[in-house]
Structure 1
C-alpha cells in the first residue's frame, strides 16, 4: 500500500506587477444550455489568455454559472499569459513526450506543441520552454459547445491530431469534456494526462466550508500532517482552517494502488453548491492540491497510442445547488 504524503508549501508571489485579468482582453466564446452558462478562452499564438508551455491550451473555462453560483475562475489576482501556472478552470496537462529520447532537439507537449529542450537532466514543468512547432488549431463553435482540434506534425518523429470538445448537455446541469488523441506519426505516444480542476466555488476562500469526497475508501493512509490544515475522514478531505495567503497543501497518490473512475465530489457547504465528477476511463492515480482560493482533485489517466491508432476518454461534471 502506498503512503499518502502531505506537502505544505509557500507560493512565490509570481503574479505581481502584471496586467489585470479581463476576459474581454483575450479571444473567448460563451456557451449555454439554458441552465448553465460558461465562458471559454480560445487558443491564440499571439493574443491568447494562456501561451505558456505547461498546460493544454484548449478548453480553458474562465467562468461557469449555475443557479447564481460561479464555480470556476482565476484563483490569482494578476495575470501573465507566459506564466506556466496562470490558468483556470478544468485545466489539463499532458506529461512531456520525447524529453529522454536520445538525439532529440525538441520534445512534445500535447495541446501545446513542439518545444526546445534545454541542457538539463530533467524536464521542469515550472520552466517556460521555447515553442518550435505550435501546430495548427481549428476551432468549431456553437451555442452549447466548442470543439478544438490541434494538429502537430513531426516533432522529433512524433505527430498527432488531438480533438477536445467542451459541451453543455441540453436540459441537464452537466458539462462534458470529450477527448480523442490520434497518433499520426511513426512513434508510440506514451504519456499521462491529468485534470487540475481549479475549482473556485463562489470565489470564496479555501476554509472549513469546503469538502472533497473521493471514491469510497480511496483515502488510505497518511504519513504525516504537521500543518494540521487538513481534516481527513476515510474518503473525505476537509480543512480545519482557512488557508493563508501564499500557502498551499499537496497530497500524492490518494488512491494508493487502486484504479477507479469516480465519483469525485467537490462542495462548498456554506453555499450548498457542488460538482460531481466522473470519467469513462479508470484513473491511474489521483493527487490533490489546494491554495487559499482553489481546491483541486487531480485525476490521472495513462495514455498509450500506437502509430495510426487513436484513443478517446471523457469527463462528466454534474453541478448542483441543494
Structure 2
C-alpha cells in the first residue's frame, strides 16, 4: 500500500510540475506586431524565462501565432512543455554538414559557437549532435527594438578565440499587405571566416488542421525525393507534394526526405502551402539560391526546409530575406 501511495504522490508531483512548466511557458515574454491585416505574436529571447531556451535553433523571431482573415498559420505542434525542446513558428538553425563553429577544435569543457544562441560547452563527444541540448555557458546579449508593425533582434557574440559576429533579424509586417518579411544580416566581427549553412524549419500549423488530403505543397520545379520509400505518407507528382491520407498521430507517423531538382537560381527557393478545405495558404520565397532542400511533416505540422550556404570573411556581411505572403482562396466544395 505504501508503494502505491508513493507512486500516486510521484505521479501527482510530475503532473503538477508539468502544469507549472506549461504555465511558465505560456507567460514567457512576448511581443505583438500588426499592420492591420496580419497580427503576429512573437516570443522574445530570454535565457531565464524565454519560451525556447534550447541550443539547436536561433532564439529570435519565433512566432507563437500569426492570424490573417480569421485563419491561423503557426502554433504548437506537439505536447511538450519543456523550454529546451519546445519550438514553434518560422525558426532557423545554423550548421554546415552537421558541423558548428569552433566545435571540432574545442577541448572538452571549452566552448563552441551556436549562432543566435550563445557559447555552449563541449562535452566528451567527438561530433556535434544536433538533437542534443548543450550547456549554455554564455547566452551573450540580445538587443530588441520594436514598432507597431516590426520587431528587430540583434545578437552580439565573441568567443575570444577568433569567432565573433553581429546577427540581426527583423520581422516586418508590410504595410497594406498580408505579408511578413524576415530580413537578416550576419556580420563577421572576428578574425576567422564564418562558414555555415542556415535553414528554416518553418513549422506551419495552418488552422490546426491535420496533415492530409486537404493540403498541397508545391515548388517551382519538378521534385525528386532522395528517400526511396515514403511509406505512403506523402506522394510526389511533378512539383507538388500530396497526402494520400491523414497522417498517423505522434512522432511514429512522421516522414522526412531530401528534395532535388532545383537550380542555382534564387527563383527556385520558394514554395506554396494551401489547405483546399479552408482556403488558407501561404507563399514563401527567399532571395538566395538553395544549397539543400528538405521536407519534414507529421500529423499536425508541415515543414518545407530551405537551406542556404554562406562564407563570410572577416569584416564582411551576408544578408538574406524571406518573404511570406498569406492568402485565402475559395475553399474546395
CA distance in 2, matches of 1:226, 1:189: 36
- Contact kept? 1:160, 1:185, Cα under 8 Å: yes
Structure 1 equivalent of residue 234 of structure 2 = 230
**Mapping for residues 173-212 of structure 1, pairs under 5 Å:** 173-212=178-217
4+ long deviations beyond 4 Å:
15-18, 21-24
Deviation at 1:103, TM superposition (A): 4.9
Residue 158 of structure 1 pairs with residue 163 of structure 2: yes
> Per the alignment, do residues 130 and 25 of structure 1 end up closer, same or farther by CA in structure 2, a change over 3 Å counting?
same
CA distance in 2, matches of 1:61, 1:21: 18
Larger Rg, first or second structure (1 or 2): 2
- Contact kept? 2:107, 2:122, Cα under 8 Å: no
CA distance in 2, matches of 1:215, 1:142: 34
CA distance in 1, matches of 2:227, 2:162: 42
- Contact kept? 2:25, 2:83, Cα under 8 Å: no
Deviation at 1:155, TM superposition (A): 5.0
Structure showing greater relative contact order (alpha-carbon pairs closer than 8 Å, 6 or more residues apart): 1
CA deviations 1:19-63 (Å, max 9, x no partner) are 337775110000100000000000011100001111000000000
CA distance in 2, matches of 1:110, 1:169: 27
Residue 245 of structure 1 pairs with residue 252 of structure 2: no
Q: Which runs of 5+ in 2 are unaligned?
A: 1-14
Deviation at 1:79, TM superposition (A): 1.3
Deviation at 1:299, TM superposition (A): 0.2
Deviation at 1:284, TM superposition (A): 0.6
Deviation at 1:267, TM superposition (A): 1.0
Residue from 274, 285, 307 that aligns with 1:300: 307
- Contact kept? 1:23, 1:62, Cα under 8 Å: no
- Contact kept? 1:20, 1:77, Cα under 8 Å: no
Structure 1 equivalent of residue 286 of structure 2 = 279
Normalising by structure 2, report the TM-score: 0.87
Residue 138 of structure 1 pairs with residue 143 of structure 2: yes
Q: Which runs of 5+ in 1 are unaligned?
A: 1-14
Residue from 19, 42, 48 that aligns with 1:46: 48
Structure 2 equivalent of residue 78 of structure 1 = 80
More helix by share: 2
Deviation at 1:102, TM superposition (A): 5.6
- How many aligned residue pairs are there? 304
- Contact kept? 2:113, 2:159, Cα under 8 Å: no
Structure 1 equivalent of residue 112 of structure 2 = 107
Normalising by structure 1, report the TM-score: 0.90
- Contact kept? 1:114, 1:155, Cα under 8 Å: no
